[in-house]
Amino acid sequence: MSAFGKGQGKGQGKGQGGADSDLAGGEAGAALSGAIAMTHDAIVNHWDPSNLCDPTKNATFPPFSGPLEDLTYLGNTNQADLIDSLLHMSFSASGTDGEAVLQISGKPFVSLKRPPPQTFLCQLIYLRSYADLRDDRINEIDLQIDDLMSFFGAIGMLNTGRRRHSLLLLGAVQRLAIMLEMPVKHYCRAPRPIDYAPEVQPIIQTPDHSSFPSGHAIEAHAIATVLHYLMTGHSALEGVAANAMPFRLAQRIAVNRTIAGVHFPVDSLAGAVMGCALGDAIVALMQGGKLPDIEHKLNIDENPDFVRLELLAHLTPTEAKTDIPQGSPILTTFWDKAKAEWPSAGGA
């Protein structure tokens, strides 16, 4: 699995110089530890630390005595863990059989309702048509099972040097999306295409969790929304309306799941709506203030394909704005550092 793929978790810590647990000049292991122990015995001789025990002295170390927002003393893995924890405390999912709601600080901001079985049956015609693209897309489909970030990195030059904070932030966005999508899928549980017709014959293994909504669509559109904010300062609605590059990619990732035979277009539409809403909410939390004036909704009463204009129709402008509590100063500072990595968007 790629270090920047789906469910990247601890892999996010690996970057220049190896994993955070490696030593300064080599890979951690018993042989190196034993050699260092031998060197210690050879050069330290007798060591008595009792003379350091002086109650009149107050040892200070800058990394541990600076402001709480300063994370520079932490490696990538522990920075990612801390950002994850602070984000996860603000978001939750709830639901009933067939419906799910996401909340931020206890306030609902997007909801989904499972369509009736007839909708999924009618969508099989899309599955048949999209299957003709399998030979063209098989490489993308296979890689995107576990790795979405490399594709977004090709748009925004995400790396551990120039855009380290942005890369860590987008990794946290994806992990938050994964955490929330699983209960949402359970509340909205719906059969997969192969359950309706064996002729679908997916070209990858069909996951055992719900088809509705698409997790890949949630993750890709949440990443696209936050990346678009970093690149331009504009919301999901503005990005989708402008057909911005991150959203073109997010749509392609989602459609690839239909081409593979594991999702209906309506799964991707629902996931895209939820992903855009989640991305907007993350930015609002990190910047502080209000959610964008968008009513994220999903009303399925026809048989829609997943295309940009269909998504745009479900990101409805509204005058209502939702106040949310100020996020942790740690998150705000981290956001500012990520934003500063995009000077062309006014971040520096």
pTM of the model: 0.89
Q: Supply the pLDDT for residue 59.
A: 73
Q: Supply the pLDDT for residue 301.
A: 60
Q: How far apart are CA 174 and CA 202, in angstroms?
A: 25
Q: Are 265 and 124 in contact (CB under 8 A)?
A: no
Angle at 275 between CA 274 and CA 279, to 5 degrees: 120
Q: Are 292 and 237 in contact (CB under 8 A)?
A: yes
Question: For every one of its 348 residues, what pLDDT tens digit does the chain have, with 9 covering 90 and above?
Answer: 333 334 444 334 333 345 677 888 888 899 999 999 999 999 998 888 888 888 777 777 777 767 888 888 888 999 999 999 999 999 999 999 999 999 998 888 888 999 999 999 999 999 999 999 999 999 999 999 999 999 999 999 999 999 999 999 999 999 999 999 999 999 999 999 999 999 999 999 999 999 999 999 999 999 999 999 999 999 999 999 999 999 999 999 999 999 999 999 999 999 999 999 999 999 999 987 666 555 445 556 677 899 999 899 888 766 556 677 767 899 999 999 999 999 876 665
User: For residue 206, which phi and psi values (nearest 5 degrees)?
Assistant: -75, 125
Long-range own/partner contacts, residues 339-348 (CB < 8 A, 24 or more apart):
339/230, 340/165, 341/162, 341/163, 341/164, 341/165, 341/166, 341/230, 342/163, 342/166, 342/230, 342/231, 344/231, 345/230, 345/231, 345/232, 345/233, 346/233, 347/230
Nearest to 76 by CA among 198, 169, 178: 169
Q: How far apart are CA 227 and CA 235, in angstroms?
A: 10
User: For residue 203, which phi and psi values (nearest 5 degrees)?
Assistant: -90, -5
For 76-345, the fitting CATH number among 1.10.3720.10, 1.10.287.370, 3.30.420.40, 1.20.144.10 is 1.20.144.10
Q: 199: helix, coil or strand?
A: helix
Token output for 63: 């990394």
Q: 162: helix, coil or strand?
A: coil
Q: Are 111 and 278 in contact (CB under 8 A)?
A: no
Q: How far apart are CA 341 and CA 166, in angstroms?
A: 7
Q: Supply the pLDDT for residue 70.
A: 86
